[in-house]
Amino acid sequence: MPHEIERVLRAVSASTWLIEENKGAEIAAFLALRAGGPTEGWQGEAHQPVYAMEPVPARGGGAVHHLRLQGTIMPRGSGMMSRMSGGASLDQFQRAFRSAAEDTSARAIVLEVDSPGGLVDMVPETATLVRAARRLDRPIIAVANTLAASAAYWIASSADEIVVTPSGLVGSIGVMTQRDNMQKALAQAGIQREMFAKGPRKLEGHPYGPPIDDAARAAIEEEAEALYAMFTSDVAKSRGVPVSVVRADPEKSERHFGGGRTYRAKRAVALGMADRIATLEDTLMRAARGRPARRASLAARRLAML
């Protein structure tokens, strides 16, 4: 079994994810299949994402920076993840964003987002980076073109404005983790793996170790709750709404941010999860003309009228 497979499998089965649930299931299923033996089509060159597109000239001088955040979010690049479903390295995205934010002649920064989310690592730091760069004279506009889910929504919510394309989706505010036991898969491959470790909890949740017990389960849930609290608090602050709204169950409250669901453009704007419906091209042109962004605080006023 190639080393890269094991490394990514370990990340999937032992990490906490901020990802749209269907995409998470797809990744887990692929890795479980791959763990059982060779799989056609997984080899090939890794997708090399481009984070900074050509700036758009702005009226009166300066430019609108166009950045992209596309694919499954990872803290740093993963060749295998890129081959599976495309991949976004937050390390590289942060570099591109800092370069755009440091341009004193920039008239706006447009973040084109098309991502189901990904690993939690470096997501809150990236969201903080975006929010800290907000200025009254240079809006930061996130465009869900066509998906900003989970970790991607966390980052997008830190912009001054969230735009959704007409067929776009936003949301999936939540945390998920899983623990896969791969002992049967190894046995089918003719591999008997023995684990050696020191520390009473060192192998806790390891995909090739023993099944988790109640104490391990409680520790996993505690971590998930802490990350969920961070996620929802950050979104609430960025969007100007109470944390209770971000965390609310849509089946029990009219004021909510989906409770883990994603919503199409019209519904997302009505709920205050986004600010307007427009295409990426329209948004770039609007920014180039110097039209102001709808600040996220409008979401609070919209909700107050419900």
2, part of any domain: no
Domain that holds residue 239: 46-174+215-304
pLDDT digits (tens, 9 = 90+) for 201-236: 888 877 777 788 999 999 989 999 999 999 999 999
Q: What count of other Cβ atoms lies within 10 Å of the Cβ of residue 260?
A: 17
Domain of 112, CATH number, reads: 3.90.226.10
On whether residue 198 sits in a domain, the answer given is no
pLDDT given at position 1: 43
Phi and psi angles of residue 90, each rounded to the nearest 5 degrees, phi first? -65, -30
Low-confidence ranges of the chain (pLDDT < 50): 1-2, 39, 41-42, 297, 300-303, 305-306
For residue 60, being part of any structural domain is answered with yes
Tokens 């591999």 identify what position?
Answer: 191
Query: Is 230 a member of any domain?
Result: yes
Residue 196 lies in a domain: no
Q: What are phi and psi of 58, to 5 degrees?
A: -105, 150
Please check whether residue 11 lies inside any domain of the structure: no
Structural domain includes residue 88:
yes
Q: What's 231-252 look like in SS3?
A: HHHHHHHHHCCCHHHHHCCCCC
Q: Determine, yes or no, domain membership for 25.
A: no
* Burial profile 27-64: b = 16 or more Cβ within 10 angstroms, e = fewer: bbebbbebbbeeeeeeeeeebebebbeebbebeeebbb
Instruction: Work out how many domains the chain is built from and give that number.
Output: 1
Number of Cβ within a 10 Å radius of residue 134: 18
pLDDT of residue 159: 98
For the segment 61-74, what is each residue's pLDDT rounded down to a tens digit? 999 999 999 999 99
